[in-house]
Structures are given as structure tokens and as C-alpha cells.
Structure 1
Amino acid sequence: MLTIGRFAPSPTGPLHLGSLVAATASYLAARQVCGKWLLRIEDLDKPREQPGASDAIIHTLAAYGFEWDGDILYQSQRQEAYHAAIATLHAHTYPCTRSRKGLPTLPAIRLRTHDHPIGFNDKIQGEYCQRLSRDVGDFVLLRADGLFAYQLAVVVDDAFQGVNQVVRGADLLDNTPRQIWLQQLLGFAQPTYAHVPLVLNEHGQKLSKQTLAPAINTDQRLHTLVRALRLLRQPCPDAADFATLADCWHWAITHWNINAIRDTPPSD
């Protein structure tokens, strides 16, 4: 079966080192087995979107040598598909109104959960399991402000694009049982999952816009890519040992070992 992976950033800011590490891991996991690698822009949350961020992300990925297959998918253009999924889930959902300060508001749509264990074997983190009703509770599919929830959109789009390998940051590990529950209800195949360790700043915080993570630039691409590979526990040679960025990618694809992430302490 053809492996299909993807990278799906949200345009809330420019790419930082943590984003590059996640993109690199997903890219190598797909390319090493001659699979496809897709790019999806998760631009559903317009209030948090930074103007120009989508184009900046695409430009940065291209500058770093990422080559995606097919057209870029924008979630903002997939509203009908999400509405259709909610209609399919009608028997498992209910409206929920939690108004603030007594103000009238449209109801959110929540998905009912159960107490049965939902688990999976993560290729990096190992066995992971939740009982959704206890650990998460019923969760939102459509927000009261009319925005579709991440959990719904990511499941619908992974199925639509045929994604069968998800490699992403470990901050999304605890989201996965909710997504598996949605896949089961919608009759979608379950991808394999691998959640890479997060890149942290000097305060032990995840790199993000909220923690003022600096954007990666394109001036030191080779050095930055080598750094990303070493953060993924790959025994990458020094940047000076590669004549070009393409040479580094060739080495990385040839030598990619996802087991090293699980078995080797981080280095930078």
C-alpha cells in the first residue's frame, strides 16, 4: 500500500524550529518508503490567522527543499465536507448552549463519548489509551461562533486525502483517541501515528507563537536542517560535510530511523 503522509500547519504565524522538526519527520517517514507527502493549510480559525502567514509558510517550506505532492489543500475551502460529516454524525451529537453573561448565543454541536478504552500503538510514544467520557468528556465539533473544530476537520481531511501515516508533534498525542472515535463513527480507516518530541525553549516551554518562538530564516538552511535532524536523534554529519541542501536531504531520507527518536536521548 502506498504510504501517504502530510504536514498540516496552521497559519497563526511563521514556521519556527519546532514546526520544521515536525515537518521534517513527516517528510522523511513518507519519502523513505517512496510515499506521497501532502501539504495542508489548516486555516479554519480566521480570528487567530496572521495575514500572509500561509504564503510565508509555503515559501519557507519550498526554500528548505520540501517537495509536496499535488495541490495544497486549504481547510477554509472544505466547509461543505465538514457540514456533511456532522450530518452523518447526527445520532451521536447534541446542541449545547453555554452563554456568557446571560447573552443569547447559537448552540455548539458536541459529540457524545463513552467509557470504552480507545487506544493505539504510537510508533514513538508506544501504547496510549484514553476513556473519553472520563478523560475528555463530550467534545465540540462545531463551535458556537460557527467555526468547525480541529478534531472534526483533521479527521475528515485525512480521510479525503487518503492519509494513512500521521507524523506530528507530541502535543497532539492526547487528541488522537478523539480522532479515532470520529474515524470509527464515520467509517474511516485509521492511520498509523507517530508523535515526535517537542522542541522546547530555555524555560522548558513548547516553541510557539505564544512563547515568542523566533521564525526560522532561509539564510542558514543547511545548518538549520542539520539541527532539526539532530533534534530528531538522527546521527547527521555536520553541515560542512554536505555540498548542498539536496545532499543533506538525500542523506536524511536514506538514513531515516524513526526508532532512534524513541531510543536515543535528544541532542542539538
Structure 2
Amino acid sequence: MSLNKLNPLDFSQPAIRVLHLTWFAFFLSFVVWFSHAPLKPLITETLDMSGAQWKALLILNVALTIPARIVIGILVDKFGPRNVFSGLLACSGLLCLAFAASQTFEQLALTRFLLGFVGAGFVIGIRMVGEWFPARQVGLAEGIYGGWGNFGSAAAAFTLPTLAVVVFGSLGGWRAAIACTGLIAIVYGGIFYWRARNTPKGSTYFKPKKSGGLEVSSKRDFWFYIAMNVPMYAILAVLAWRLGPSNISLLTQSSVYLMYLVLLCLFIFQFSQI
């Protein structure tokens, strides 16, 4: 199949069907991930939130994204994109429902923090699209995947306020609007598992012998790889500090110290895996 025959509307081709299944999964993950942002006035008024608390939610929403993409990448290598994307959509849908049902700021903060994992959906689809398209077409296919997927945040901004105010028509309408995105994600997770496949028929999905770290070929590369991981842990430590009593006061000082300890243990574990 030559490049000029890559027709995104040709659903008779299995690869095209998988491409559309996958970009829509990515699209949904962005709708879920940014479902709260366009509903700020309704959410803050319902729970009487301050500006600092809303900023904390925005920070928490992206806090897990970097480590989540590493974790999801490991899981994709081990279990395949079909299983991982289905599971991610189902779990994020449940967290979305929990966010919609939250009655306190602390509940909102916890569920929004955990929803940061859905931002790792991009990694899954890139691997799946790469398995289905040859090298001369994979760039175009991944462009379609990434472009339509990222549009999910804009789609959430266009539709959710209207859904909350016009359709559900009350101050608490934001809960129903966000819950709808969660239910759609759960249902589509099942559809994706049913219809998608990791590789074309007859192809083998290759898995690494060991997960948790990249293989390096020299001591210099080893230490460079370690150094490249330090900024991620530093950013997460700064986030814990920002949420502590000296700033937003979402965490106690003892909780902040516990977060530092957890990050140190994770760094040591990753060090050992590398």
C-alpha cells in the first residue's frame, strides 16, 4: 500500500479501522482529563472554592502526567496497547464519576490528582499506530492520531458548559456533565477492547524481556540516563512542597515529608532497574 493510498475514509482496510478506534480513544482521554476546566464557575460556586484551591486543582491535574507516561509505557510493553488503553479508559471513567460525586475540596483534589494518569493515553496509541502502519505511512497515521486526539480538550470546552447549563439546567449540572464523560469513557473502553487488536493478523507483538528501565551500553550512558530522570523527581518534590502548609495547605507537613520519602524510594527502585 503506497502513501497516496492511505485514505482515512477507507474503512475496508483493517489498519484504518484501528486508526480511528485509537484516535477516538485518545480523544476521549483528553475530554476526561480536561473536563473540569471549562466548568470552573459552576464547580467553584458549588463548593465555595477559593482561587488558590482552584489553582491547586489545575496543578494536581497534570502532576502525574510525566511519571504516568513512563509507567504506562512499561505496561504497554508488557501487556499491549489494547489491554492498557481499555483499562485506562475504564479506570479514568470511574475516577470521573468519583470527581462528579465529590462533596469536598479534598475529594475533588484526590480524584483530579489520580486523573492525571489519563494524560498518558498518548503513549499507548503511538505504539499501536506504529504496529499497524509501515514506516512510509506511520508519520501521517500518527499525525492523524495525535491531531484528532488532542482536539479532545477543545471539544470538552465547547460542549460541557452547554451540557451542564442548557441540558441539565442547574448549578449542579456540572456533575451530570462530567459524569457523562466518565460513562462514555467506560463504555468505549469495552468497545476498544472488543474491536481493537495489537497488531495486524499474522504479526507478532514483541515484548521486552525486562521492564522498568532502558538498556544502556556504557557507564557514561548509564549516568547520563540517571541524570535525565532527576528533573522529574525534582518537579514532583516541588509539587509536594507547593501543596504543603507553607503554600496551599492541602497537605500537612508530615504528608509532605512522606511524599519526599516515596519519591526517594521510587528513584532508588528505578536506579536499580536501570
TM interval, shorter chain, is: under 0.3
- Structure with greater contact order relative to length (CA < 8 Å, sep ≥ 6): 2
Indicate the structure with greater helix content. 2
Give the TM-score, by structure 2 length.
0.21
Question: TM-score, with normalisation over the residues of structure 1?
Answer: 0.22
